[in-house]
């Protein structure tokens, strides 16, 4: 039988208690919309998971595709940010591309 490596021990020691706590902690049941408790709890759950849930998800997450698009544009797009490319034409029309050629 193979001995347990140091890395595996570290993972077990670090993640083991966290996983046990997540599974067995009674505090997790204090989540306001996870159990079917008081009327206040029901109001929270109904307020979140009503008929407008998915439109609200879309509204909440709406800026992120734009963020991702801008970063992709920086990474793949305008060659202006790049210095020293041999393909001078990629930067030819860019005013903010000093020493690119």
Site of interaction with other proteins (CB under 8 A):
32-33, 40, 43-44, 47-48, 56-57, 59-64, 66-67, 70-72, 74-75, 81-86, 96, 98-99
- Alpha-carbon dihedral sign for residues 65, 67, 70, 72: negative
CB of 71 to other proteins, least distance (A): 5
The dihedral region occupied by 69, where left means phi > 0, alpha psi between -120 and 50, and beta the remainder, is alpha
Tell me the C-alpha distance between 53 and 55, whole Å.
Answer: 6
C-beta of 13 vs 62, nearer to other proteins: 62
CB of 87 to other proteins, least distance (A): 11
CB of 5 to other proteins, least distance (A): 23
């Amino acid at each position: 039988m193979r001995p347990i490596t140091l890395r595996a021990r570290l993972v077990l020691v670090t993640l083991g208690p966290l996983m046990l706590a997540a599974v067995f902690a009674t505090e997790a049941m204090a989540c306001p919309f996870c159990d079917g408790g008081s009327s206040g709890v029901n109001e929270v759950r109904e307020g979140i998971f009503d008929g407008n849930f998915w439109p609200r998800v879309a509204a909440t997450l709406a800026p992120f595709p734009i963020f991702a698009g801008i970063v992709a544009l920086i990474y793949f797009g305008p060659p202006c940010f790049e210095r020293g490319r041999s393909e001078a034409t990629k930067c030819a029309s860019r005013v903010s591309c000093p020493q690119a050629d």
